[in-house]
């Protein structure tokens, strides 16, 4: 039992847009100090669910409750940069959080191992540098909840595990909850407490090891995981598309830990 109240609670949330059922029957609780990873194929509704949890989209049915005054640090999937308006990293950080001093911007960058980038031009950053700057910006708000939408996009594999380790360290330092979206369970496993496997609804959930063996997870990702992770003799899909119907009667349909229910 976690003594502190949840940061966000979603109860039987569904969303229909333009006649399409994008999400259904989603129940999730996010708590302090827990790293929750949302995993699912392209189009599964991961970003849509983040938007619902953050209050940027209203559910068609069900409820989302957020702790009053909850401080959220959000790292978007990608950032559109207008190169006609040159901007330094420092300025970018200060725009994200008005009133932040140069020393605080520097400290935020130091924390993510990007201290040398304060005066760099945002437009010239490499993919990995940009992700670190976005993470520094999200963390500089001293959030109670860090929400990271595919934080390792554009980062090479070595850099990806480093970034996930950094996220775990930030959680320890800030004591915040973390909700992150990822395509690759095996990469995030070490830095994740709980996984929600999403495909319009929550197909399965639990500890990463447990989810990686769940029939519902394997139905979605069984033939897409990296070959070094297990032996098999079938074809690999490269698309990341839905591999088939989720046949998982008997798995629970919500994302709460058993002890939280
Ligand atoms: N405003 C909208 N109106 C109609 N459909 C939408 C809207 N926003 C998203 N969708 C659809 O909802 C589905 C889920 O989109 P979403 O971006 O949440 O998926 P995702 O799991 O984050 O995908 P990816 O892994 O590719 O980023 C997609 O089919 C998308 O086209």
Average of per-residue pLDDT values in the chain:
82
**pLDDT tens digits along 9-36:** 999 999 999 999 999 999 999 999 999 9
* 87 has a pLDDT exceeding 80: yes
How far is C-alpha 50 from the chain's CA centre? 8
Each residue's pLDDT tens digit, 139-151 = 988 899 999 998 8
Query: The whole model's pTM is what?
Result: 0.81
Instruction: Check if 47 has its Cβ closer than 6 Å to any atom of ligand 1.
Output: yes
| Percent of all residues in the chain with a pLDDT value above 70, rounded to a whole number | 84
Structure token pair of residue 17: 């847009």
pLDDT digits (tens, 9 = 90+) for 158-172: 788 888 888 999 999
Q: What is the model's pLDDT at position 186?
A: 82
Alpha-carbon span 117 to 132, nearest angstrom = 10
Complex prediction ipTM: 0.96
Cβ of residue 62 lying under 6 Å from some atom of ligand 1: no
Does residue 17 line the site of ligand 1, with CB under 6 A? yes
Helix, strand, or coil (residue 120): coil
Rounded to whole angstroms, how far apart are CA atoms 33 and 177?
A: 4
Whether the CA torsion 85, 89, 94, 95 is positive or negative: it is: positive
Give pLDDT tens digits for 121-136.
998 898 888 989 999 9
Separation CA 151–CA 180 (nearest Å): 8
For residue 111, give both structure tokens: 């924390």
Distance between CA 46 and CA 51 in Å, rounded?
Answer: 9
Dihedral angle, C-alpha 237, 239, 245, 246, nearest 10 °: 80
22 lines ligand 1 (CB under 6 A): yes
Residue 29 structure tokens: 């609780």
For domain 8-71+144-260, the question of CATH label 3.40.50.300 is answered with: yes
Least confident of 107-111, 165-169, 193-197, 232-236: 232-236
d(CA 174, CA 187): 23
> For residue 223, which of 205, 207, 239, 236 has the smallest C-alpha distance?
236
Q: Which of 47, 77, 147 to mutate to test the pocket of ligand 1 (most atoms within 8 A of CB)?
A: 47
Residue nearest to atom 17 of ligand 1 (CA): 47
| Residue of 21, 41, 45 to mutate, ligand 1, most atoms within 8 A of C-beta | 45
pLDDT of residue 229: 33
**DSSP letters for 146-200:** EEEESTTTT--HHHHHHHHHHHHHHHHHH--EEEEEES-HHHHGGG-SEEEEEES
Q: Could you identify the atom of ligand 1 that is nearest to the CA of residue 77? A: 27
pLDDT tens, 64-73? 999 999 999 9
pLDDT of residue 261: 34
For ligand 1, say whether the CB of 42 is within 6 Å of any of its atoms: yes
What's the gap in Å between 42 CA and the centre of ligand 1? 8
Are 36 and 192 a contacting pair, CB within 8 Å?
A: yes
Domain coordinates of the chain in residue numbers? 8-71+144-260, 79-141
Output the CA 45–ligand 1 centroid distance in Å: 5
Q: Supply 148's token pair.
A: 């990271």
């Amino acid at each position: 039992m976690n003594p502190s109240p949840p940061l966000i609670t979603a109860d039987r949330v569904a969303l229909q847009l333009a006649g399409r059922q994008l999400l259904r029957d989603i129940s999730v609780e996010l708590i302090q100090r827990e790293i929750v990873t949302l995993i699912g194929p392209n189009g599964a509704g991961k970003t849509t669910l983040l938007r619902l949890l953050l209050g940027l989209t209203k559910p068609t049915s069900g409820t989302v409750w957020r702790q009053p005054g909850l401080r959220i640090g959000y790292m978007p999937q990608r950032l559109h940069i207008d190169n006609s308006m040159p901007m330094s990293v420092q300025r970018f950080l200060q725009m994200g959080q008005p009133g932040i001093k140069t020393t605080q911007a520097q400290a935020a960058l130091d924390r993510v191992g990007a201290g040398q980038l304060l005066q760099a031009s945002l437009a010239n950053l490499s993919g990995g540098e940009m992700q670190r700057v976005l993470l520094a910006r999200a963390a500089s708000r001293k959030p109670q909840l860090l929400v990271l939408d595919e934080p390792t996009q554009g980062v090479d594999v070595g850099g990806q595990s480093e970034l996930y380790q950094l996220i775990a360290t930030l959680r320890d330092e800030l004591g915040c909850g973390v909700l992150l979206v990822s395509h690759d369970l095996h990469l995030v496993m070490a830095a994740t407490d709980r996984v929600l496997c999403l495909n319009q609804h929550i197909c399965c959930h639990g500890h990463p090891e447990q989810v990686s063996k769940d029939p519902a997870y394997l139905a979605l990702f069984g033939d897409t995981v990296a070959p070094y992770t297990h032996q098999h003799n079938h074809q690999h899909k490269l698309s990341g598309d839905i591999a088939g119907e989720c046949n998982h009667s008997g798995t629970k349909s919500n994302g709460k830990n058993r002890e939280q229910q």
